Amino acid sequence: MRYSMKGNGPLIGDVYINGAKNAALGIIPAAIMSDDTVRIDNLPDVEDVRVLLEAVEGIGVSVNRIDRHSVTINGSGVHTIRVDNEHIKKIRAGYYLLGALLGKYHHAEVHYPGGCSIGERKIDQHLKGFRALGAKVIEDKDMVIVEAEELHGGHIYFDVVSVGATINIMLAAALAKGNTIIENAAKEPHIVDVANMLNKMGAAIRGAGTDVIKIKGVEKLKKVEYSVIPDQIETGTFMMAAAVTRGDIMIHGIIPQHMDAVSSKLIEMGCIVTEYDEAIRVVCRGPLRPCNVKTLPYPGFPTDMQPQICVALAQAGGQGTVTESIFEDRFKYVSELRKMGAKIKVEGGNVAHIEGVEKLKGADLAAPDLRAGAALVLAGLSAEGKTTVDGIEYIMRGYEDFDKKLRSIGAKIRIETDSK
Ligand code: UD1
């Protein structure tokens, strides 16, 4: 399947943001740690979430869809701690079932995580954390097995700042015996969201959102009704859509503070960004100015917005740079942008030097991964002529109704399923 689109001038109008994919992917495993029924609202209807729900159903969790964005989950019927279905291999967040099942049952066997191919993406910090809680770790072909006779608190200092490892250890330690301290923890909004949900379930987690998280293990987790925070990256992607099409987009249902790093770069590039209580408006009238961007853990500029800002810089008046400091292989999409006439040189694998051009030209492109796929769509919507972006399955893993939302603000984009 591919998107087919034509640059059609400024995108103007209102867009509503769904729940955060990466928060939802931590919240579903948290929910199965209780034997009570947990209700989750504002779940985004995206492929990664569907896969994780299917995977937990496969081990005996009862999942009841209330509507498109709400489910109830009851984890009392888990009959196996081995998660090895066809689809779980494709997503990254399967690794959270290690922490959740280890915490609850002291034993988990989960397929090695997949996800976008943007770097080596080791899980050694997750495993180091599980060991510190008393677990034995076995890596058996494609499976990761963690098992503990007694799961106890531990003191963990992460060597790298890892979103996944921070959430995973929080999950397991929530039900471990005694106190856990995580140092050099990641601070992303979805870490705070998972901690808030666990605390509402009766966990005792302090410090989420700072780099030291303290967890006092509790005996069990109880029922809760919880609503997932809005998606920071979906928001950023639409902010960037306003910039690249010289548009005016009002983005609703968001938390503006989560967008500070993106907003400040857009302001530097000449856009007007106005914050409201739960909305943000991005207006871009004149030409874009170049800037230098470096991806960093939160509150720095998010790596998941790196391809999108690169598309904006490819059309700015002058030279900019983008330095990727989280993942080693996140510039695969640059060869696609070059087909559109973009002038980008990647140096040492992690620095892109970008010389803005007046206008990109339509081309036939392929999405190499989720966020780069969304960025190529932004490029197509700001280019002259027709662009196709193949491999939109990647984009559907993380964006709900992406094409529909873009059409609602004036984009000419549709899905093509036939062969060319
Ligand atoms: C999560 C997000 C992803 C986002 C990334 C960074 C999910 C499902 N995915 O991915 O969208 O791009 O955070 O914000 O939430 N590392 C290690 N050892 C480890 C763990 C990580 O060396 O055990 C390294 C990674 O290779 C990477 C860096 O640490 O270079 C950050 O990775 P991490 O924050 O863990 O990202 P993910 O959890 O994979």
**For 205-244, how does the pLDDT look when each residue is reduced to its tens digit (9 = 90+)?**
999 999 999 999 999 999 999 999 999 999 999 999 999 9
350 pocket-lining for ligand 1 (C-beta < 6 Å):
no
Percent of the chain topping pLDDT 70: 99
327 pocket-lining for ligand 1 (C-beta < 6 Å):
yes
124 pocket-lining for ligand 1 (C-beta < 6 Å):
yes
Q: Whose CA is nearest to atom 33 of ligand 1?
A: 162
Judge if 2-18+230-416 and 21-227 fold alike in CATH terms.
yes
Q: Whose CA is nearest to atom 5 of ligand 1?
A: 163
Whether 392 and 2 have beta carbons less than 8 Å apart is answered as yes
Tokens linked to 305: 């917005």
Domain over 2-18+230-416 is classified CATH 3.55.40.10: no
pLDDT (0 to 100) of residue 85: 78
Tokens linked to 51: 């896969």
Residue 99 alpha carbon to ligand 1 centre in Å: 15
Question: Per-residue pLDDT for 420 more than 60?
Answer: no
Q: Whose CA is nearest to atom 20 of ligand 1?
A: 123
User: CA-CA distance, 119 to 185, in Å (whole number)?
Assistant: 21
Among 156, 161, 93, 92, CA closest to 127: 156
pLDDT (0 to 100) of residue 338: 98
Pocket test residue of 160, 170, 191, 296 for ligand 1, highest count of atoms within 8 A of CB: 160
Residue 167 CA: nearest ligand 1 atom is: 38
Whether 258 and 287 have beta carbons less than 8 Å apart is answered as no
Q: What is the mean pLDDT of residues 326-337?
A: 95
The count of C-alpha atoms lying within 13 angstroms of the C-alpha of 375, restricted to the half-sphere facing its C-beta, is 29
Question: Per-residue pLDDT for 141 more than 70?
Answer: yes
Q: Where are the domains of the chain?
A: 2-18+230-416, 21-227
337 pocket-lining for ligand 1 (C-beta < 6 Å):
no
The full 3-state SS of the chain, as one line of letters, equals CEEEEECCCCCEEEEECCECHHHHHHHHHHHHCCCCEEEEECCCCCHHHHHHHHHHHHCCCEEEEEECCEEEEEHHHCCCCEECCCCHHHCCHHHHHHHHHHHHHCEEEEECCCCCCCCCCCCHHHHHHHHHCCCEEEEECCEEEEECCCCECCEEECCCCCHHHHHHHHHHHHCCECEEEEECCCCCHHHHHHHHHHHHCCCEEECECECEEEEECCCCCCCCEEECCECHHHHHHHHHHHHHCCCEEEEECCCHHHHHHHHHHHHHCCCEEEECCCEEEEECCCCCCCCEEEECCCCCECHHHHHHHHHHHCCCCCEEEEECCCCCCCCCCHHHHHHCCCEEEEECCCEEEEECCCCCECCEEECCCHHHHHHHHHHHHHCECEEEEECCHHHHCCCCCHHHHHHHCCCEEEEECCCC
122 pocket-lining for ligand 1 (C-beta < 6 Å):
yes
pLDDT (0 to 100) of residue 419: 60
Residue 121 alpha carbon to ligand 1 centre in Å: 6
Residue 304 CA: nearest ligand 1 atom is: 12
Q: Whose CA is nearest to atom 19 of ligand 1?
A: 123
> What is the number of other CB atoms lying within 10 angstroms of the CB of residue 63?
18
271 has catalytic annotation: no
Question: Per-residue pLDDT for 337 more than 80?
Answer: yes
300 pocket-lining for ligand 1 (C-beta < 6 Å):
no
Pocket test residue of 163, 184, 325 for ligand 1, highest count of atoms within 8 A of CB: 163
Question: Per-residue pLDDT for 269 more than 60?
Answer: yes
29 pocket-lining for ligand 1 (C-beta < 6 Å):
no
Question: Per-residue pLDDT for 157 more than 70?
Answer: yes
237 pocket-lining for ligand 1 (C-beta < 6 Å):
no
Residue 302 CA: nearest ligand 1 atom is: 14
Q: What is the mean pLDDT of residues 321-340?
A: 96
Quote the mean pLDDT of the chain.
96
Question: Per-residue pLDDT for 119 more than 80?
Answer: no
Residue 395 alpha carbon to ligand 1 centre in Å: 19
- Note the CATH number of domain 21-227: 3.65.10.10
303 pocket-lining for ligand 1 (C-beta < 6 Å):
yes
125 pocket-lining for ligand 1 (C-beta < 6 Å):
yes
Question: Per-residue pLDDT for 148 more than 80?
Answer: yes
The residue among 92 and 380 whose pLDDT is bigger is 380
Q: What is the mean pLDDT of residues 372-386?
A: 97
Residue 2 alpha carbon to ligand 1 centre in Å: 28
